[in-house]
Amino acid sequence: MKPDELKALSDSDLAQLRTAAEAEQKARAEKRKQETIAKIRELAGSVGVTVKIDGARGRPPKAKEEKLKRG
């Protein structure tokens, strides 16, 4: 969409366009994520490794008891 076309839109139309654009960006990001996960699993499987991807990022938090034991 060209800048002149954007200027011609009403505020309501701009808000709807923004919402639709954000939803499309999220959908594309999710698609890329799923494609990347599939590729990782494919590559791992080709060398005999199993990969588990749960969606959580980073290392799991340590239990409170472990923290108390350490000091």
Q: pLDDT tens-digit profile of 11-55?
A: 999 999 999 999 999 999 999 999 999 999 999 999 999 888 877
Distances (CA, A) of 63 to 52, 56, 69, 70: 21, 16, 10, 11
Q: What is the reported pLDDT for 68?
A: 60
Q: What is the reported pLDDT for 61?
A: 76
Rounded CA gap, 13 and 15, in Å? 5
Higher local confidence (pLDDT), 59 or 49: 49
